[in-house]
Structure 1
Amino acid sequence: MASGQGRRFGSNKLLAAVEGVPLYRRAMTALAGAGLDRLAVCSPYPEVLEAGAALGFLSLPNPGAEEGISASIRLGLSAMGGMEGVLFSVCDQPFLTTDSIIRLLHSFEQSKNAICALSWQGQRGNPVIFPADLFMELAALTGDTGGGAVIRRHPERLALVEAGSPRELADLDRREDWLFHS
């Protein structure tokens, strides 16, 4: 999901670089190496969509991005028909690794009924994989409500998968978050 308006950041943070690489490219590169069956990027930004296409992602223009995260969820789900589950990832976690994504995927493959979320010391983070039977609930979300609402309705199904380090779950939302990472 690469549709954020960057309100807390003050501009389109997806184009900002961490260690010389734009946020959106760091996220797409980590995901592209994980062996997922289908990749899609939802974004209103042409630069992000073009980069996604070059990396093998379905590029889904998101004209409803101002509605909030639910618009990206619905758009992404529309391209995932026939899948057993869908992994939702954000683009503002610059240190997310392919290895942790693969561990998350393996956990989901072991129990396709679970909602699998990357975590650190029991704290849920992103990305999250939702099984197909929850797609309708995800598609019914509106506004700036994300998958956390579905997780709260099904806490017994949540399986936490430990990230390689706490740094992987750090997201950069405000300019001050960048002081230590750019």
Structure 2
Amino acid sequence: MITAILLASGYSQRLKRDKLSLDFNGIPVLEHTMRAISNVSFSKKLLVTRQEQYSCLASQYGFQTLLNPMAQTGQSSSIRLGVLQSDPSSAFMFFVGDQPLLSSSVIKRLLEVHRQKPGSIIIPTLDGQNQNPVIFPSSLRESLLEITGDTGGRSVIAKNPQLIQRVSFTDSLPFLDIDTSEDYFTLLSKAKKTEDY
């Protein structure tokens, strides 16, 4: 059992506009991420957001929307909200909303490693650098509920190095995220999204 938790409560401070609503190939950036997730089987799919405008979109893709009234306190509030709404025995796969080139094949590869090593923290890597999405086992539920601030799950990862299972990837496109205008222009320079979902 694994819950997909899509984190979409940020303020896009560096971009200075809502990056999740930016157009890419005719639909919002966030919708691309939802599509990739929705073509993979999860026990539950949760969208954690501070903007009710995404609720309709979420329902189209089978996500339950969780409105985060504490988004200003950082990503930890979204993580805790998602974990609390998950089954107590569920593992957690955390996604970020600004990876529109994320593919279902990447997700499935990570889930396959999780099936082989259900007690591990599954982290995709690119050139040795940790990427998203990350899978946490159900055994770390309480640790995830204790995090604070805007560091996400990094503190939990740092405290449990013995549980880490890294999965290496060579294609950078699925992990391209949007933090700045330059990132968005890089995304737009891709003539067509590589779709395998």
Q: Pick the TM interval, shorter chain.
A: over 0.9
Structure 2 unaligned spans of 5+: 1-6, 189-197
State which of 91, 105, 112 in structure 2 corresponds to 1:99: 105
Query: Where does structure 1 lack aligned partners over 5 or more consecutive residues?
Result: none
Paired residues of 2:127 and 2:170 also in contact (CA < 8 A): no
C-alpha distance in structure 1 between counterparts of 2:41 and 2:125, whole Å: 20
Q: Distance in 2 between matches of 1:164 and 1:35?
A: 25
Contact 1:126 1:169 in 2 (8 A): yes
Q: 2:179 aligns with which of 170, 173, 177?
A: 173
For 1:77-134, what per-residue CA distance to the aligned partner results, in whole angstroms no more than 9, with x for missing partners?
0111234310000011111101100111111111111000122233210000000111
Residue 140 (structure 1) shift: 0.7
* Count of residues in correspondence between the two structures: 182
- Say yes or no: does 1:79 pair with 2:85: yes
1:4 counterpart = 2:10: yes
- Name the residue aligned to 1:13: 19
Given that residues 114 and 122 in structure 2 are in contact (C-alpha distance below 8 angstroms), is that contact kept between their aligned partners in structure 1?
yes
Question: C-alpha separation between the residues in 2 aligned to 1:163 and 1:51?
Answer: 30
**Separation of aligned partners in 2, 1:154 and 1:161:** 17
Q: CA deviation at 1:163?
A: 3.7
* TM-score w.r.t. length of structure 2: 0.88
Percent sequence identity is 32
In terms of mean alpha carbon deviation, does 3-12 or 161-170 score higher? Answer: 161-170
3-state SS of the aligned residue for 1:126?
coil
Residues 13 and 52 of structure 1, relative CA distance in 2, 3 Å threshold: same
TM alignment of 1:55-70, pairs within 5 A: 55-70=61-76
How many angstroms does 1:164 deviate by? 6.3
AA in 1 matched with 2:65 = S
User: Residue in 2 aligned with 1:133?
Assistant: 139
Structure 2 CA distance for aligned equivalents of residues 20 and 68 of structure 1: 30
TM-score (norm 1): 0.95
> 1:19, 1:181 within 8 Å by CA — same for their partners in 2?
no
Structure 1 residue matching 2:157: 3-state secondary structure: helix
CA RMSD, 1 decimal: 1.3
1:144 is paired with a residue whose SS is coil
